[in-house]
Structure 1
Amino acid sequence: MLICNPYEIVIQGMTNNNKPFRPSDWAERLCGVLSSFDQGHRLSYHQWVRPILVDNIRCVAVDRKLEQISATAFNFLMDFARDNDLRVLDCKALLEEQQHTQIPLKNAIKQENSTQQTTVTDQPAANTINTALRELTPEEDTTAFPALHRLHTNIRGIGQFQELIQIQRAEGYRLLGIFEEGKQNATTICGFRIQTTLIAGKHLNIEDLSSYHQPIDDNHIFTILNELKKIAHQEHCTCIHANSSVTTDSNNLHHLYLKHGFRLNSHQFTYQLT
């Protein structure tokens, strides 16, 4: 039985190729991005975004009011569905469909795909994905959120993310992104700025490097670093610095930096203020 409302849009955890979307808790994670703390200091889902279970398929129900209240959040959810090839349905139409058939939704998806798909055995498999690298404009900042949220999980939602990026941009922060063909959000993101210090002179400092896909694709690293080298030369920088945490999750990134000619030449200490 469906538990969505007629005024909601449903993002299903099933791709258009009839494959279950992973990880299994993707719906809770996606809703968690837009969640907030209530008056009792408990984390609660957004008023118009919630995880649901439809015929044993994890889904996210999105109230249409969200598009009017926060177009940024609504577009982020729709872009997420599009980028991951997830099925998006109008709940009202789905309810009417269920009233005329008793076929479980999961089976209905299989039947629909079987009638729409043509035989692909004679078609060559796609070996490469076309990508494009570009520097993001302030209007495109939200396209960096999915990738950077993997690195900065402390950021609770898009609104907070936009505020922080706006503050950083005023201080010289810039974003480079790699976009896969047909996808709205950046797959890999690099945040950097040009700085001048006594010890290093004028240099390019990499502050954030993260990808929606883990581990980060080595080709993406190569492409981004080459572009950063061009920018550094244009800005008459003497070197490129890279900030990276010492957590276990960063081990792969450390390896990639060393692989591409970086060397560890300093330590950064942190004193947490209370």
Structure 2
Amino acid sequence: MRFRKSEGLTESEAILAGLCERSFLALYTYPNLFKQLVDLMVVFRSDILLFSDKSCAYPDTGDPLLDWRRWFARAIGKSAHQVRQAERWLRSQPGMIFLDPAASAPLPIGLPPPASVKVHRICFATGAADRCRRETGQPMLGIDLTVTDAEAPLRVGIVSEAGGFLHVFDAEVLELVLTELDTISDFVAYLDAKAALAAGGQFKGAPTEADLLAYYLHHGRTFPAATGDFVLKHNLWRQVAAQPAFIEGRRLNREHRTWDRLIEYITRQFLAGQLEFGNELTMDDYERVVRIMAGESRFYR
């Protein structure tokens, strides 16, 4: 093999790695980097996705605000700090990123030039689903851009420690988003649109990330221009997911993953040096070829 990488050291890290490899492909997905730089990094073209995984039990002291503040600090706050530090290292030491603790296996594909790098900060925080279900009837955190840090229980808004917009997903939400947006192009387009929506100032919140995703999908994978401040209604996801056209689209997406399987099969053969032709290619040359295929959205695939 040309290189080896971690598959995730904990259960949540393994789940995260599995979800990301399924959507972004193995060649672009790297868990557990050197010095625990970040729990998982995805590199594609000029986009770098930094995932910080924090699996924390939710406290139950009888004080809802105290419980939330403690969980937020351990899960989202520490995650934001890790991502921020990773981004600093990435921008200042782009040649010092390794797959192993001994720093003997460098990242096998080249990073984009520093001036063109676009970093997406992502927190994968688990442990709050049961409390969310008990308090709101939904196993997901709410989105509330009127709050900062741990001001309001079970609602995530601006996370000051992140140094920029932080996308916060739990296991159920991330699996849902990566089921509907299961290519790197589709997922990054959603992250960009969501960050731009938040920066616009008129979007104030949604009951869950699933409802925000439904709003995005229902409007042709865009967020329509707003005429004033707005908050999304409850149960948008259930309404959109029940539409016949949506159900048919899901079926077609599941049945048309041939391109994904082809990319992964050829990549495995290349890494093992077992191609009939092309084993002499460098990693960078091979990645440039695969990038053309991997960059297509699900619709075009």
TM-score norm. by structure 2 comes to 0.29
Q: Which has the higher helix share?
A: 2
Q: Which has more radius of gyration? A: 1
